[in-house]
C-alpha cells in the first residue's frame, strides 16, 4: 500500500517536471509577431503617396501564364471549349498528367478511367467511364472545364490543380482513352516485337 502511494507521488512529480520543462523551453516572446511591418494596404507616412504598398516596377511581366493568356486559363475561346490542347504534347507532359491524374482523379475515376475507383467501390456515386462514346467525342477543353468549374456532384479542382497541370491531366485522359482502343498498328514498330514477346504471343 505504501509503495503504491509513493509511486503515485513520483508520477505526479515527474508530470509536473515535464510540464515545467515544456513551458521553460518554449519560446515566450512575441517579438517576431509584433515586429514593425506594414499590414496589407496599410497607410504609411514613409512613402510620398501615403501607401505602404509599392507599385510594380515598370515593365514587370507576370510569370503566371493566365495573366497574359485568358484562353489558356479559361479553356475556352470565342468558339467555346477548346478542341485542341493549347500547349505542345510531349512525353514529359503526359507523364506529369499521369502522375497528377493518379493522385487527384483515380480515387473516383480509377487508374484506367472507367469510373470505378476505390471511393466509388466504397459507395460514392460512379462517374461515367471516360471510355464512354460521349466522352470519347468530347473536346479536350471539356475535361479541362470539368476540373476548372466542377461537374455536377464533382467539386472544382481549380484551387488545387494549377492550369498547367489541368492541361497535362486533360492530355493524359486523351491518352487513356486511346489506350483502350489501340491496335497493334498504333504501337511503334521498334517496340511492337518487344510487346508481342512480353505477351507470350511470339518467342
- Contact residues toward ligand HEC (CB under 6 A) are 104-105, 107-109, 119, 124-125, 127-128, 135, 143, 146-147, 151-154, 157, 161, 169
CB of 100 to ligand HEC, least distance (A): 7
CB of 30 to ligand HEC, least distance (A): 42
Helix ranges restricted to H, the chain: 2-25, 31-34, 70-74, 91-104, 106-109, 118-121, 133-136, 140-149, 163-180, 189-198
Q: CB under 8 Å to 81, separation ≥6 — which residues?
A: 75, 139, 141, 142, 144, 145
26 is written with which cell numbers? 518554449
CB of 9 to ligand HEC, least distance (A): 54
**Of 15 and 95, CB closest to ligand HEC:** 95
Calpha distance 131→142 (Å, rounded): 14
**Of 51 and 107, CB closest to ligand HEC:** 107
**Of 20 and 124, CB closest to ligand HEC:** 124
**Of 120 and 187, CB closest to ligand HEC:** 120
Name the residue number minimizing CB distance to ligand HEC: 152
Q: Pairing mode, if any, of strands 80-81 and 76-77? A: antiparallel
**Of 15 and 102, CB closest to ligand HEC:** 102
CB of 29 to ligand HEC, least distance (A): 44
Calpha distance 124→102 (Å, rounded): 18
Amino acid at each position: 500500500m505504501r509503495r503504491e502511494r509513493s509511486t503515485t507521488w513520483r508520477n505526479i512529480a515527474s508530470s509536473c517536471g515535464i510540464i515545467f520543462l515544456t513551458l521553460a523551453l518554449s519560446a515566450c516572446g512575441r517579438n517576431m509577431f509584433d515586429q514593425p511591418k506594414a499590414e496589407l494596404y496599410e497607410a504609411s507616412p514613409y512613402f510620398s503617396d501615403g501607401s505602404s504598398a509599392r507599385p510594380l516596377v515598370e515593365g514587370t511581366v507576370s510569370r503566371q501564364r493566365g495573366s497574359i493568356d485568358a484562353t489558356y486559363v479559361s479553356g475556352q475561346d470565342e468558339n467555346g471549349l477548346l478542341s485542341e490542347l493549347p500547349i505542345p504534347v510531349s512525353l514529359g507532359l503526359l507523364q506529369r498528367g499521369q502522375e497528377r491524374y493518379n493522385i487527384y482523379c483515380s480515387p473516383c475515376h480509377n487508374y484506367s478511367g472507367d469510373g470505378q475507383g476505390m471511393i466509388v467501390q466504397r459507395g460514392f456515386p460512379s462517374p461515367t467511364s471516360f471510355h464512354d462514346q460521349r466522352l470519347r467525342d468530347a473536346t479536350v477543353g471539356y475535361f479541362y472545364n470539368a476540373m476548372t468549374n466542377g461537374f455536377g456532384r464533382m467539386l472544382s479542382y481549380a484551387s488545387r490543380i494549377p492550369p498547367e497541370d489541368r492541361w497535362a491531366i486533360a492530355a493524359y485522359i486523351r491518352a487513356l482513352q486511346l489506350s483502350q482502343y489501340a491496335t497493334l498498328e498504333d504501337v511503334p514498330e521498334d517496340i511492337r516485337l518487344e510487346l508481342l514477346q512480353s505477351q507470350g504471343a511470339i518467342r
